[in-house]
């Protein structure tokens, strides 16, 4: 599965990526 998180710098993409890794076990 490929997910692309798009947004401006500081929009929380890294935070959301960390939560996806924790919740679903998808490598980042």
- pTM of the predicted model as reported, rounded to 2 decimal places: 0.62
User: Which phi-psi region, left, alpha or beta, contains residue 25 (left: φ > 0; alpha: ψ -120 to 50)?
Assistant: left
Q: What integer pLDDT is reported at residue 1 of this predicted model? A: 74
Cα–Cα distances in angstroms (integers) from residue 12 to residues 7, 17, 19, in the given order = 8, 9, 11
CA separation for the pair 19, 23 (Å, rounded): 6
Q: What integer pLDDT is reported at residue 3 of this predicted model? A: 83
User: Is the Cβ–Cβ distance between 3 and 26 less than 8 Å?
Assistant: yes
Q: What integer pLDDT is reported at residue 26 of this predicted model? A: 80
Query: Quick one: DSSP state of residue 9?
Result: T
Give pLDDT tens digits for 1-28: 788 999 999 999 999 999 988 998 888 7
CA separation for the pair 15, 17 (Å, rounded): 5
């Amino acid at each position: 599965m490929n997910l692309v998180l798009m947004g401006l710098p500081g929009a929380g993409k890294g935070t959301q990526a960390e939560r996806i890794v924790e919740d679903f076990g998808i490598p980042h």
